[in-house]
Amino acid sequence: MNQIPLKPENERFTDEQWQAIFDQGDNLLVSASAGSGKTTVLVRRVIEKLKMGVNLDELLIVTFTEAAAREMKERIQEALQEAVNTESDPIRQQHFTKQLVLLPTANISTLHAFCLTVIRRYYYLIDIDPVFRMLTDETETILMKEDVWDELREAFYAENREEFFRLTMNFSNDRSDDGLTNLVFSLYEFARANPDPEEWLTKLSESYRLENGLADSDLYKTQLRPLILADMHQCVQLYEEMVQLAQEEGLEKMYDQVSGEKGQIQVIYEHLLQDQIPEAYSGLEALTFTTFKSSRKAELKERSAEVKELRDRAKKIIQQLGKNYFPVSPEQMEELTQKAYPLVKEMTKVTKAFMNGFSQRKREKGLLDFNDLEHFALQILTKKTDDTWLPSEASDHYRKQFKEVMVDEYQDVNQLQEAILYWLREPNETNGNMFMVGDVKQSIYSFRLADPSLFIQKYEAFSKTEGGRRIVLAENFRSRKEVLSFTNLVFEQIMDPVVGQISYDDAAKLVLGFPDFPETEQFEPEILIYEKEQEETTIELPVDDILEDKTEGELFMTGLKIRQLIDEKFMIYDKKMKKNRPIEYRDIVLLTPTKKNNLTILEIFKTFDIPLEMNDAQNYFQATEIRTMVSLLQLIDNPYQDIPLASVLRSPIVGLIEPELARIRLADRSHTYYEAVLAYQAEHTDELADKLNHFGEQLEIWRELARRSSITDLLWSIYYQTGYLEYVAGLPAGAQRQANLYALVDRAKSYEKSSFRGLYQFVRFIEKMQEKDKDLAEPVLASVDNAVRVMTIHASKGLEFPVVFLLDMTKQFNLQDLRKRYAFEEKLGAGIRYMDPDTRVLYDTLPYQAIKLAKQNKLLSEEMRKLYVGLTRAEQKLFIVGSYKNKEETLKIWSEVANQTSLVLEPSTRLKGKGSLLNWIGYSLMRHPKMKEYAEDTTVHNQLGQSESRFSITWMKQQDIVENRQSLASETKKELESVKVDQTPLQESLKARLAYSYPYKASTQTTSYQSVSEIKRLFEDPDDTSDSKLVWENNEKRRYNQQFRYTQDTLAEPKFLQKSQKISAASIGTATHYLLQLLPLEMPTSDSIRSLLEELVAKRLVDEKVAKKIDLSGILWFYQTDLGKRLVQHSELVKREQPFSMLLSADQVFDQYPNEDDELLIHGIVDGYIEFPEFIELYDFKTDYISNGENQAEIEKIVQKYQGQLNLYKKALSEALDKPVTNVYLILLGAKKIINLNK
């Protein structure tokens, strides 16, 4: 150990932090408890390294998340910038400046990111293509895995081997072989967390041989035997205590009974100590518990009750012993385990085949996933010579480069990552350069295959200075002493190496590090419990006040407490302001074990007017709008699906009601619902049939689009055609719903960037995600500024909040994984249940027993660590919320620990199968002196725990909640009524504001950019070619003082509201103009016109239905007129579809326009003109329907309609080309008439 500099007197760091910053020359493990400032220490250590002359590129700093890496870089940058600004030595200042330059490329990242750097630099050492793409999209990964597995499974079936069929039968059922699929995928993922997956898989079957019998197997000796002996030893101790108590005069019968049972149990214990398992099993089978012989004498009743309670506990231990360890005889267990051996061999063979097949598929496609990064990096860093692993040139390079390897959150590293770090650090233990910081009590990422045992091994070894040194940071600078002492009180009784995997000793206890919190009595942790079992009462509750389940009860309690804190202006200490202030919503967080109750939280907190900030408020695929769109996509892929079809028909996209759906089914009861729809369409002509016809036409369009376009285009088409995007915006939480729909497009786009294509695969992916109960996150909207935050305990790790509510703390531990037919463990391997092929009965094998128990212990240990994380998020006030059926029964359960003498509660208490986090807390509080206030009828013989710890427990029934809610509502109403302010000044101010007349209102009622088509209806014909004002049509005249816009939007009815879509006159006109534009200026014939139109339809430039409505005879007629022939004769002078723009003052366009300085930019497109050397002839086609071409009044009306528009064209052409427009022809194709508007 090097010489640590003396800590200045005014230095804020503790002695332990100071040591962690400066200690050198050895591997260091810093065990940093919650709130102990580990990140600050890590950053300061980096800066001190740089001050010693080390460069940033000579340090490897590994973080757990990218966000942590960014924060680390930001903190180092701030510290370096300060060092540059304050350093007086120019050489050192230059050195710090250099580090700022190196910072962007410094190796401060996640381990995955560093592995990617290694691969890109040394790819040639393992012969992989340097041009690869990261497989980051879960969609692509899942589909690729399933494709590989489908091919592989078919190949295995084709081999027709008995071993594979037996394996399939053992893990699947009569309906499907999904059980085998899940097994292979799970085993593959688990194996890949090991440095050598192939070797790990190969060794799995070894524990099934049992060549030297059950007692001599490693699994029994290392896993089962210690647990069995521990339980039996506890049982013997209980009987010794019983015998002592039963020696009192008058309890002779009881004494004889318990002494006899003790002798039997002692014999069984001796057999187990000598590994005589068959004899022990026989003893357990023969052991019976007769009726307890208690004393009827009043003075002996209490002693009898004590003995009975101890005996009941011993009986439970014996019963669990038989259930957990001896479900069958030792001989049967050996036989079953050996029978499972070929199954395990086949299981590893199939998993290896899948692992290699998936790896090959990724290699073919040039893809790497995150796990590949680690495995390839490890391959690059090592080389094998004569079965010995040695460092490669890459490892030598990095070992020379890195003066120190720093690892944050070391408790979350797995075996594979540990192996990578080994080949990067200094191999000489006496001169170690590893700096590891973390807290094993906060290791809660087992689902990512984190292995906290790596931390624990070093924690124990380094305490003896074997291979390194250990530094413990116990001082907590985050929380008040009430939070810390409560956390210590709980964990010193429930956490030890058996459950929790580490001792919660004096070194692990939290120590107050921030003493500046003001002293007050109101910050004791509060436990809020909803009592589900209701008392009989004559009071009839309003329907709205009846609570449906325990979740609602807990949430209403929480909502009432939050309103109380806010309304009473509960004071908290602000560390930045350094003074007390009233609590705000943003100071509060609700921490939940899972997200499943988030929707209920939203609904209930709305009733309290409590603003919430919540991500993932509901499952993405369960959102109504997404379910509707997924159903529609399924329907487009295959319309013969009843449920998606009914869902879409009932949705706002079609808008049918239940009776209409029933009428459709009556049209055809025996076939699919789609066939019933077709039958109804064929048999009826009513409004329902029109809706179905319209939807059917649209569905065919989408199906065609799906075949030839991307899913992204398809979704946008659906949104546009149905107006569904706009529809959901009008629903509650409309912004979130729209964001969900946009996210579906983004996810489709991401999917199509992968190697998979097509609607079928996309729909299949979504269905697979739903089948496996997986989901995608909802897109996150902007956060609310002042709101109560809601998040999971996992998401809260590393964060802190002034006030914390831990919700759903009576949720039973999730032990679903223990009910599967298989279990995996890093060191113990794989355990499977064996199915007898004749009886189809499942039996536990020895490895399964051992691994299941080890896994159960690990799961419960992680639940315990989750509780630690939850409790230590609180800075000042902690609330723990749960629910029980009955108060008395709950206190009775908790009081089971009342006579336990050890500080740490017995393992059997903590390992209960139906346990919960609040049960653990209840057990740990039961022996506290304060519990006398809450359990008056319970006798506690051993009062343990910290007497300075304070807490309170509140029990509430439904009636209590209703009364509190009514009281809250009443107080709110009174408060509002008490606020009587003279509203007259405000009313006068509002009246003045409402009466205000904006002087430039006319400018707001039209746009400065106008098309001729927009304003054409406003005009009459100006006087010849003069520039006199354009006046309004009499029937549409709009005066300035009438509060209308000068031009009105002609918005079409949204398509999702239209009953049917008819071909509009505008569509026909547009298509006709397009045809005339492209028609060659040579004498056309009927065939040439029709041929061009068919070509436009074939190219999808003109809709087929619209094309049928075009009057081809009118076009042919025009080219036979003098004007038509003149166009053909002077084709080189003809200009068609010519755009123009011109600037006019607004008062030239509108009569009585008040703002003289306003100008309008008029734009339009001229159908055509002939530009002769001296003059211009203008023409314009119109396709208006005219019932009688000889009706002069109808012709005049058409002329009046377009006179102003053509005058604008005439004016624009004349000014642009500086020539007179001598003729203006209005060509009415429907009436086959040409009118010269200049005549």
CATH number where 709 lies: 1.10.486.10
- Residues of the chain with pLDDT > 70, as a percent, come to 88
Given this model, what pLDDT does residue 1001 score? 61
Q: Where are the beta strands (DSSP E) in 260-370?
A: 367-368
1021 to each of 1149, 1164, 1192, 1210, how far by Cα in Å? 12, 18, 18, 12
CB–CB of 137/750 below 8 Å?
yes
Confidence bin at 176 (pLDDT 50/70/90):
confident
End-to-end CA distance of the chain: 109
Angle of CA points 610, 613, 614, to nearest 5°: 120
Do residues 664 and 806 both lie within one domain? no
Confidence bin at 1034 (pLDDT 50/70/90):
very low
Segment 478-491 shows an average pLDDT of: 95
Name which of 48-57, 383-392, 651-660, 836-845 the model is least confident about: 383-392
Confidence bin at 394 (pLDDT 50/70/90):
very high
- Name residue 1142's beta-bridge partners: 1162
> Is residue 488's pLDDT more than 80?
yes
Which range in 290-304, 567-581, 605-619, 1044-1058 is most confidently predicted, on average pLDDT?
567-581
39 annotated ligand binder: yes
Task: Evaluate the CA torsion angle 52, 58, 60, 66 in order and state its sign.
Answer: positive
Q: Where are the beta strands (DSSP E) in 348-431?
A: 367-368, 382-385, 388-391, 404-408
656 to each of 179, 689, 732, 766, how far by Cα in Å? 40, 11, 22, 26
Segment 731-754 shows an average pLDDT of: 82
> Is residue 530's pLDDT more than 50?
yes
Rounded CA separation 240/314 (Å) = 11
With CA atoms as reference, report the closest residue to 286 among 254, 260, 309.
260
Rounded CA separation 592/806 (Å) = 6
Quote the mean pLDDT of the chain: 86
Domain membership flag for residue 968:
no
- How many other C-beta atoms lie within 10 A of the C-beta of residue 462? 20
Do residues 243 and 201 both lie within one domain? no
Q: Are strands 788-792 and 588-592 parallel, antiparallel or unpaired?
A: parallel
1239 annotated ligand binder: no
605: left (phi over 0), alpha (psi -120 to 50) or beta: alpha
Q: Of 617 and 486, which is predicted with more confidence? A: 486
Given this model, what pLDDT does residue 1004 score? 62
CB–CB of 865/443 below 8 Å?
yes
Q: Of 926 and 619, which is predicted with more confidence? A: 926
Convert the pLDDT of each residue in 577-608 to its tens digit. Answer: 999 999 999 999 999 998 888 888 988 998 88
Q: Report how many domains make up the chain.
A: 6
Rounded CA separation 873/922 (Å) = 20
Convert the pLDDT of each residue in 400-410 to its tens digit. Answer: 999 999 999 99
Domain membership flag for residue 834:
no
Given this model, what pLDDT does residue 946 score? 57
Convert the pLDDT of each residue in 417-441 to its tens digit. Answer: 999 999 999 988 778 899 999 999 9
The DSSP symbol for 464 reads: T
CB–CB of 530/557 below 8 Å?
yes
> Is residue 973's pLDDT more than 90?
no
Domain membership flag for residue 1032:
yes
Segment 798-822 shows an average pLDDT of: 92
Radius of gyration, alpha carbons of the chain: 41
Token pair of 247, please?
């020696």
995 annotated ligand binder: no
- Name residue 1177's beta-bridge partners: 1170, 1223
Which range in 162-166, 214-218, 1043-1047 is most confidently predicted, on average pLDDT?
162-166
Given this model, what pLDDT does residue 979 score? 57
Rounded CA separation 638/619 (Å) = 25
Given this model, what pLDDT does residue 1041 score? 35
693: part of which helix (H) or strand (E)? helix 687-708
34 annotated ligand binder: yes
> Is residue 227's pLDDT more than 50?
yes
- Name residue 28's beta-bridge partners: 435, 469
Name which of 261-270, 551-560, 1059-1068, 1114-1123 the model is least confident about: 1059-1068
Do residues 317 and 384 both lie within one domain? no
CATH of the domain at 530: 3.40.50.300
Q: CA neighbours within 13 Å on the CB side: how many for 510?
A: 33
CB–CB of 27/433 below 8 Å?
yes
Confidence bin at 967 (pLDDT 50/70/90):
confident
Domain final residue pick, 450, 473, 496: 473
CB–CB of 374/192 below 8 Å?
no
Token pair of 260, please?
């006899």
CB–CB of 554/883 below 8 Å?
yes
Do residues 730 and 805 both lie within one domain? no
> Is residue 772's pLDDT more than 90?
no
Convert the pLDDT of each residue in 636-650 to its tens digit. Answer: 999 999 999 999 999
Do residues 1011 and 1158 both lie within one domain? yes
Segment 104-112 shows an average pLDDT of: 95
> Is residue 969's pLDDT more than 90?
no
> Is residue 531's pLDDT more than 80?
yes
32 annotated ligand binder: yes
Do residues 299 and 381 both lie within one domain? no
- Residues of the chain with pLDDT > 90, as a percent, come to 53
CB–CB of 605/721 below 8 Å?
no
Q: What is the DSSP string of 893-921?
A: HHGGGTT--SSSPPHHHHT-TT--HHHHH
Name which of 10-19, 869-878, 1029-1038 the model is least confident about: 1029-1038
Domain membership flag for residue 682:
yes
Given this model, what pLDDT does residue 485 score? 94
Segment 748-767 shows an average pLDDT of: 77
Domain membership flag for residue 404:
yes
Confidence bin at 1224 (pLDDT 50/70/90):
very high
Confidence bin at 1031 (pLDDT 50/70/90):
very low
Three-state secondary structure call for residue 1047: coil
The type of residue at 738 is Q
Do residues 934 and 1024 both lie within one domain? no
Three-state secondary structure call for residue 926: helix
Do residues 1183 and 1106 both lie within one domain? yes
38 annotated ligand binder: yes
CATH of the domain at 1049: 3.90.320.10
CB–CB of 1153/1032 below 8 Å?
no
Do residues 602 and 626 both lie within one domain? no
Domain membership flag for residue 45:
yes
Domain final residue pick, 926, 956, 986: 956
Three-state secondary structure call for residue 197: helix
Backbone phi and psi for residue 1176, each to the nearest 5 degrees, phi listed first:
-130, 140
991 annotated ligand binder: no
Do residues 1084 and 1177 both lie within one domain? yes
> Is residue 376's pLDDT more than 90?
yes
Segment 253-281 shows an average pLDDT of: 93
CB–CB of 441/508 below 8 Å?
yes
1072 lies in which domain range? 1006-1236
Domain membership flag for residue 300:
yes
Where do runs of H (alpha helix) occur along 953-1085? 958-978, 984-995, 1001-1004, 1012-1015, 1065-1078
> Is residue 1032's pLDDT more than 60?
no
1060 annotated ligand binder: no
Do residues 267 and 302 both lie within one domain? yes
Do residues 223 and 184 both lie within one domain? no
Domain membership flag for residue 2:
no
Confidence bin at 736 (pLDDT 50/70/90):
confident
Token pair of 450, please?
């984190």
Given this model, what pLDDT does residue 1150 score? 63
CB–CB of 1156/1145 below 8 Å?
yes
Longest dimension (CA), the chain: 139
Rounded CA separation 408/399 (Å) = 19
